[in-house]
Amino acid sequence: MIKLILLGLLAGAFFSSTFILNEMMSAAGGHWFWSASLRYVFMWLIITGIILFQQGMGCLKALTAVFFQHWVFWCLTGSIGFGLFYAGICYAADHVAGWVVAATFMFTVVTSLLVLMVFGQRFDKKFILYALLVFVGVVMVNVSEGLHAAALADTDIAPAVPMAQMLLYGALPALIAAFSYPIGNQLVWQVTHNSRTPALPADLADQSHAVSGIADTHDEPLTSEAYDLPPTLYDTGTSTALNALPAAAPAPSLLQTLIHRIPSIETTLLHNAFNKVWLMTVGSLPFWLLLGMIVRPELPDSTQVFNTLLVALLAGVAATTIFLYARGQAVTSSEVAGVDATQASEVIFALIGGILLLGNSVPSAMGLLGIGLIIIGLIFFAKDG
């Protein structure tokens, strides 16, 4: 677990470059759409080159086949996990300060646990307390920086930002991003582990098909609502979620129906983090095309293109690949939650980067205390995971 936490922290360091560079591009007048969409165009080009170099043209052709075989799933996953996520981040950065975006997005520590529970996964309740501890630290950092900005506005050093505008154009898009990112990651995690889950017995499979009314055109086994975790993680005495399936099951819930629609892709390609990022990136391209047709922004300048390339390299390729690799190595719900919680370190690295690169002031005592709570929460995750 400690290794997974360290990998998550490393990914957090690379992720933090997003908030710093987006703040720089916003201050220079670049449109938020190009900051968001160009990142994934560059990511697609870079990761395609990496895959060709490491695995060859045969792998790229196989990935293309996997994408078109399940294009609905990958477009949905890419649009949520990459599209809504980063569009929200960049839109917020275009309206409020970078620290607001970073601090609000850290709510993903809590939303990640909510997503895990929605997907039917169980973990010790103490991890909820650890996540809340991390989130309280993030809130304290947020409040500290907010008070500092208000003090500057009172002295006419900087313009004041109305609270309503901050919530509507800054906090709300960042909050949407905080939900979108773990949902997209969980969908990829689920489809990866679906291929490792034993198929349903024939009689149960037929019953499940009859109940849900879902046609399986690829003859792939349906999976349980939750990934088949070790029996010790379950609150009941059953060994797997399938054992709880009654002889005459009632009509499934909407959640169960949606999760049953997640495909089981029988391929070892999904064991490679670069391959998963490539599939999600390609899946997000239709989202960016449609959004561009709606927004119709002016063309970006060369500085914004270069800074977006840096974001693609640092946050898009390095951070995302490391994070998905660490998340893919997690085998229990608690470990997945622990890796997700390391995203809270982004606010620490963003503060350090802002001080060194943007000349931001050192956090107040409240901000330092908040950072301390974040670190303590991560230590608890590593210790008890």
Tens digit of pLDDT for each residue in 260-269?
777 777 788 8
Q: What is the mean pLDDT of residues 11-32?
A: 87
Whether residue 200 is contained in a domain is answered as no
Are 185 and 334 within one domain? yes
Are 65 and 51 within one domain? yes
Q: Is the pLDDT of residue 118 over 60?
A: yes
pLDDT tens for 64-109 read 999 999 999 999 999 999 999 999 999 988 877 777 788 788 778 7
Q: Residues in the chain, how many? A: 385
pLDDT for the residue 62: 94
Which among 251, 252, 230, 250 is positioned nearest to 241, based on CA atoms?
230
pLDDT for the residue 159: 57
Whether residue 321 is contained in a domain is answered as yes
Q: What is the mean pLDDT of residues 299-315?
A: 92
Which among 112, 63, 87, 38 is positioned nearest to 339, based on CA atoms?
112
Are 105 and 243 within one domain? no
Q: Is the pLDDT of residue 115 over 50?
A: yes
Are 241 and 281 within one domain? no
Mean pLDDT, the chain, integer: 77
Are 172 and 284 within one domain? yes
- CA 30 to CA 25: how far, in whole Å? 5
Whether residue 133 is contained in a domain is answered as yes
| 8 A C-beta contact, residue 346 and residue 109 | no
| 8 A C-beta contact, residue 127 and residue 334 | yes
pLDDT band at 300 (very low <50, low <70, confident <90, very high): very high
The more confident residue out of 249 and 345 is: 345
Are 222 and 273 within one domain? no
Are 254 and 271 within one domain? no
pLDDT for the residue 200: 41
Are 217 and 318 within one domain? no
The Cβ-side half-sphere exposure at 262, using a 13 Å CA radius, reads 24
pLDDT for the residue 303: 92
Domain containing residue 113: 2-195+265-384
Provide the angle, in degrees to the nearest 10, between the axes of the packed helices 98-105 and 85-93.
150
Whether residue 10 is contained in a domain is answered as yes
Are 83 and 173 within one domain? yes
Amino acid at 74: W
The more confident residue out of 6 and 95 is: 6
Predicted TM-score (pTM) of the model is: 0.73
Residue 22 neighbours by CB distance under 10 Å: 28
Are 209 and 184 within one domain? no
